[in-house]
Amino acid sequence: AGPASLSRLRGALVAAVLGDCVGGEFEGAEEVPLDSVLKHLDSLDEEAKGSGILEYSDDTAMARCVVQSLLTRAGFDEQDMARRFAKEYSASPGRGYGSGVIQVLKKLSSPQLRDVYQPARDQFNGRGSFGNGGAMRASPFALAFPDLSDVKRFARLGAMLTHSCSLGYNGAILQAMAVHLSLHGALELPQQFISRLISEMEEVEDDELTRMDARILKEADKPFCERLHRVRDLMGRNKVSIEEVISELGNGIAALHSVPTAIFCVLHCLQPRDCLPVSYGGLERTLAYCLALGGDTDTIACMAGAIAGAHYGIEGVPQAWIRCCEGAEDAVMSAERLYMLYHRVPPGD
């Protein structure tokens, strides 16, 4: 599949849904034996024949709002996107939303609201959330805008509707950039891929607000850059244990402890790994590896799924998995409409 082909867009959107659905099983688990992961993934082939369906969570629910908003408005419209988040939450509040973001979503549904970014700013004593809720739904921005500057700008604004801390929205920028680069085949050269992400994040984090948030939260000066350097170090080693990945990169609910982790999972699984079945393709390896980390498995698998799916294309996604994940068939179709928006094909052509 060539750069930004329909197959790559589909792969990205669909694999993100799969990651969320298959990852839900282990979300919050402290230790996940690889055996349980493989058993869970094996069962998908059987469930596809029966009626078993794995439901998606808030990650996909919000990403679907992003996609629908971008498609309907043919671009970024913060009012429309905020309304869709609020409406989706009130229609299905039980999708596993973060405990803080619920307050934002309730405020966003108020017709009196003047500034749609204000509820997010009020979170956590005015510092805003650093959760990964902005990053988990950032991939569609890379599938709607061909220019990296647009991807960065809109991923940031889209995240700020709920996550106004720089450690939250910068994670969304990083995730969207990783999908953008992967869509263009950048994972063919993994070293260049990670170097490019580092140099882009150097620029993104060269900012007074970022420095201030990092200082308050006792993080490195450029927190995401620091983590990406750790990703690069881990890539250079031929044996890496799950424990080391967790202690170096994290598997938690903060964007800083999950976006670099998702990127590492994709890079690590580009080649076959001894611990994973030889029958697995790259995408299956990536998702299985994310689940084995435990912690915020649905979100890490969702983000890694988008990056890996953009690399392998829809051909790399097992059909049986698509059939038993809620929203996966929808994603196949939405990706086609995003493809037209991305390439600015006029409707009807």
Q: What share of the chain is helix, strand, coil (3-state, %, to 5)?
A: 65, 0, 30
Nearer to Mg ion among residue 96 and residue 190 (C-beta): 96
Tell me which stretch binds Mg ion (CB under 5 A): 57-65, 121-129, 182-190, 244-252. Answer: 57-65
Give the binding range for Mg ion (CB under 5 A) out of 51-59, 151-159, 180-188, 307-315. Answer: 51-59
Query: Which of Mg ion, ligand R7I, none binds 269 (CB below 5-8 Å, type-dependent)?
Result: none
DSSP 165: S
- What is the C-alpha separation between 305 and 20, in angstroms, rounded? 9
Take residue 67 and report the two structure tokens written for it.
């996609």
What is the smallest separation between the CB atom of 168 and ligand R7I, expressed in angstroms? 7
Return the half-sphere exposure (C-beta side, CA atoms, 13 A cut-off) of residue 72.
13
Measuring CA to CA, which residue among 102, 247, 226 is closest to residue 170? Answer: 226
Q: Which is nearer to Mg ion, 27 or 205 (CB)?
A: 27
Residue (57 or 182) nearer to ligand R7I, CB:
57
Q: Which is nearer to Mg ion, 8 or 137 (CB)?
A: 137
C-beta closer to ligand R7I: residue 87 or 196: 87
Helices and strands, number each (H, E), in the chain:
19, 0
201 contacts which partner out of Mg ion, ligand R7I, none, CB within 5 to 8 A by kind? Answer: none
Binders in 280-319 for Mg ion, by CB under 5 A: 296, 298-299
Nearer to ligand R7I, 183 or 205 (CB): 205
- Closer residue to ligand R7I, CB minimum distance, 95 or 337: 95
Are 69 and 81 within 8 A, CB to CB?
yes
Going by the DSSP 8-state scheme, the letter that residue 255 receives in this structure is G
Rounded Cα–Cα distance for residues 72 and 87 (Å) = 16
> Rounded to the nearest 5 degrees, what angle is found at the Cα of 206, between the Cα atoms of 156 and 266?
60
Measured from the CB of residue 59, what is the shortest distance to Mg ion in angstroms? 4
CB of 317 to Mg ion, least distance (A): 20
Q: Is 213 in the site for Mg ion (CB under 5 A)?
A: no
Residues 6+ apart with CB under 8 A from 112: none
Q: How many residues bind Mg ion (CB under 5 A)?
A: 7
Q: Which does 130 bind (CB under 5 to 8 A by kind): Mg ion, ligand R7I, none?
A: ligand R7I
Tell which positions 92-121 bind Mg ion, by CB under 5 A.
Answer: 96
Q: Which residue has the tokens 């970014």?
A: 117
Residues at the contact surface with ligand R7I, assessed by CB under 6 A: 57-59, 96-101, 124, 127, 129-133, 136, 165, 253, 296, 298-299
Closest to 61 in 3D by CA, of 136, 118, 115, 11: 136
Minimum CB separation from ligand R7I for residue 130, in Å? 4
Query: What's the token pair of residue 41?
Result: 């993934």
C-alpha span between 182 and 278 (Å, rounded): 24
Query: Can you list the pairs that 96-99 forms with residues at least 24 positions away whose Cβ atoms lie under 8 Å?
Result: 96/24, 96/27, 96/57, 96/58, 96/298, 97/58, 97/133, 98/58, 98/129, 98/131, 98/133, 98/253
8 Å CB contact between 65 and 133: no
- Rounded to a whole number of angstroms, the minimum distance from the CB of residue 260 to Mg ion is 16
- Output 80 or 122, the one with its CB closest to ligand R7I: 122
Q: Shortest approach of ligand R7I to residue 232 CB, angstroms?
A: 25
Binding flag, residue 57, Mg ion (CB under 5 A): yes
Measured between alpha carbons, how far is 123 from 48 in angstroms, rounded to an integer? 41
**Among 288, 276, 286, which Cα is nearest to 12's?**
286
Instruction: Provide the minimum distance between the beta carbon of 83 and ligand R7I in the complex, in angstroms, as a whole number.
Output: 18
- Binding to Mg ion, residues 161-200 (CB under 5 A): none
Interacting partner of 210 out of ligand R7I, Mg ion, none (Cβ under 5 to 8 A depending on kind): none
List of residues contacting Mg ion (CB under 5 A):
57-59, 96, 296, 298-299
